[in-house]
């Protein structure tokens, strides 16, 4: 596919990153520290990185990756915290990655993903930042109606439960801020992450696959778009600095979606390649199991209850796949890492951190 090569804007003297202690946040900071590369794109910069983390215990995780970062601690839903974070940030680049996927309380979807995003946009507009890159999700668009369908760049909203609703409203706020001229925004939509800096839930995923306990539902032919974290960093870096990106939304994923059964087999291969014992057994569930789990999940969320395991099981049989052709042609995005290599790197990172799989 042909790609449009444009002269990128110069690196900002100041970058503001929310959600810095999260999966993407640490991956982004690590890439900034290592500088530009073919894999991560134009991320290197000489200026200051100012970051927000939610809790004091998150500071160490950021310092290990970015020891020179200026770290702020506080709740993104608190306007006073966000105001302090953005003070004196004229012409800064903002990467808004703070969000909650699996909340301790159902109300956190609204508090973090909607109120927090609004606070960021208001403060960014007041301080005169150069651009806000808002990290969204596939969830505002629900699930694909067929296994061969792909979400396009201009896809109508069809949010999947509470998380999807909250991320849809975050996207709407970002679009409105750009449309009304308050602040320049770009939306990046990543699907399922994988790669270093992973949280506990991904470690659990590896363990379940290794022991043959991760369920493949139905025939496992449903497809999932996924994104290796450094591929995502590349997409975000391009969205930060590409001159034609503002006002647009871009899917950032690996080159092609993967069948769910292939994901499981590839992870097993990656685990074996990295020296772990992997069972040949595979837990399977009938297609009905996914539909039942989704119904239970919907019923619980309607009552303001979020159950992580039920939610994940209810998505396991779905196709959630996107078309990255606009991201490639407009931004020049070119994902370098595929599933097997990315999973091997993630497993290697876990072992280096002493994480048992």
Q: For 268-314, what is each residue's pLDDT tens digit?
A: 999 999 999 999 999 999 999 999 999 999 999 999 999 999 999 99
- Number of neighbouring beta carbons within 10 Å of residue 304: 10
Q: To the nearest 10°, report the CA torsion of 234, 240, 241, 246.
A: 120
Band the pLDDT of 4: cuts 50, 70, 90: low
pLDDT higher than threshold 60 for residue 49: yes
CA angle 81, 84, 85 (to 5 degrees): 85
Residue 308 lies in a domain: no
At 168-216, the pLDDT tens digits run 999 999 999 999 999 999 999 999 999 999 988 899 999 999 999 999 9
Residue 296 lies in a domain: no
Q: Is 281 left (phi over 0), alpha (psi -120 to 50) or beta?
A: beta
- What pLDDT was estimated at residue 274? 97
Residue 272 lies in a domain: no
Quick one: what percent of the chain has pLDDT higher than 70?
99
**Range with the lowest mean pLDDT among 31-45, 112-126, 205-219, 234-248?**
31-45
Tokens of 282: 């595979």
Quick one: what percent of the chain has pLDDT higher than 90?
92
Got the DSSP string for 82-138?
HHHHHTT-TT-EEEE----SS-SSTTHIIIIIIIIHHHHHHHHHHHT-SEEEEE--S
H or E segment and range at residue 80 = helix 79-86
pLDDT higher than threshold 60 for residue 3: no
* pTM greater than the 0.85 cutoff: yes
- What pLDDT was estimated at residue 39? 79
Residue 288 lies in a domain: no
pLDDT higher than threshold 90 for residue 41: no
> Does residue 277 sit in helix, strand or coil?
coil
The mean predicted confidence, pLDDT, of the chain is 95
- What pLDDT was estimated at residue 36? 72
Strands 48-53 and 14-18, bridge-based pairing:
parallel
Q: Residue range 130-154: average pLDDT?
A: 98
Q: Name every residue whose Cβ is closer than 8 Å to that of residue 148 and which is 6 or more positions away in sequence.
A: none
Residue 54 lies in a domain: yes
pLDDT higher than threshold 80 for residue 2: no
At 296-308, the pLDDT tens digits run 999 999 999 999 9
Give how many domains the chain has, as a whole number: 1
pLDDT higher than threshold 50 for residue 262: yes
Give the CATH number of the domain where residue 33 resides: 3.40.50.720
Residue 218 lies in a domain: no
Domain of 123, in residue numbers: 14-197+226-253+319-336
Got the DSSP string for 185-254?
EEEEE--EEESSS--HHHHHHHHHHHTT-SPEETTS--EE-EEEHHHHHHHHHHHHH-TT-TT-EEE---
Residue 350 lies in a domain: no
Report how many helices (DSSP H) and strands (DSSP E) the chain contains, helices first. 13, 13
Measured CA to CA, the distance from residue 310 to residue 306 in angstroms comes to: 9
Band the pLDDT of 40: cuts 50, 70, 90: confident
- What pLDDT was estimated at residue 1? 41
């Amino acid at each position: 596919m042909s790609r449009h090569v444009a002269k990128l804007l110069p690196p900002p003297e100041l970058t503001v990153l929310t959600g810095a202690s999260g999966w993407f946040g640490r991956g982004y900071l690590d890439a900034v520290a290592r500088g530009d590369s073919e894999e991560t794109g134009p991320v290197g910069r000489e200026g200051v990185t100012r970051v927000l983390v939610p809790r004091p215990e998150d500071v160490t995780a950021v310092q290990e990756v970015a020891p020179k970062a200026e770290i702020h601690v506080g709740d993104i839903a608190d306007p006073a915290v966000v105001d302090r974070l953005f003070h004196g940030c004229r012409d800064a680049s903002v990467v808004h990655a703070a969000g909650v996927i699996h909340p301790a309380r159902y109300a956190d979807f609204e508090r973090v993903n909607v109120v927090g995003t609004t606070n960021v946009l208001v403060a960014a507009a007041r301080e005169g930042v150069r651009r806000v890159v808002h990290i969204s999700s596939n969830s505002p668009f629900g699930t694909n109606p067929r296994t061969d369908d792909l979400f396009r760049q201009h896809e109508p909203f069809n949010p999947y439960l509470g998380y999807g609703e909250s991320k849809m409203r975050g996207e709407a706020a970002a679009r409105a801020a750009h449309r009304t001229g308050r602040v320049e925004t770009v939306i990046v939509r990543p699907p399922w992450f994988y790669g270093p800096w992973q949280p506990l839930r991904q470690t659990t995923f590896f363990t379940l696959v290794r022991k043959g306990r991760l369920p493949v539902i139905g025939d496992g032919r449903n497809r999932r778009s996924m994104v290796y974290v450094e591929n995502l960093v590349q997409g975000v870096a391009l969205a930060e600095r590409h001159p034609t990106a503002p006002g647009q939304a871009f899917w950032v994923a690996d080159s092609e979606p993967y069948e769910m059964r292939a994901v499981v087999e590839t992870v097993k291969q990656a685990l074996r390649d990295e020296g772990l014992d992997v069972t040949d057994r595979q837990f399977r569930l009938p297609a009905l199991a996914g539909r039942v789990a989704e119904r239970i999940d919907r019923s619980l969320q309607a009552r303001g209850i979020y159950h992580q395991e039920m939610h994940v099981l209810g998505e396991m049989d779905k196709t959630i796949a996107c078309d990255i052709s606009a991201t490639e042609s407009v931004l020049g995005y070119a994902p370098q890492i595929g599933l097997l290599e990315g999973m091997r790197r993630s497993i290697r990172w876990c072992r280096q951190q002493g994480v048992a799989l």
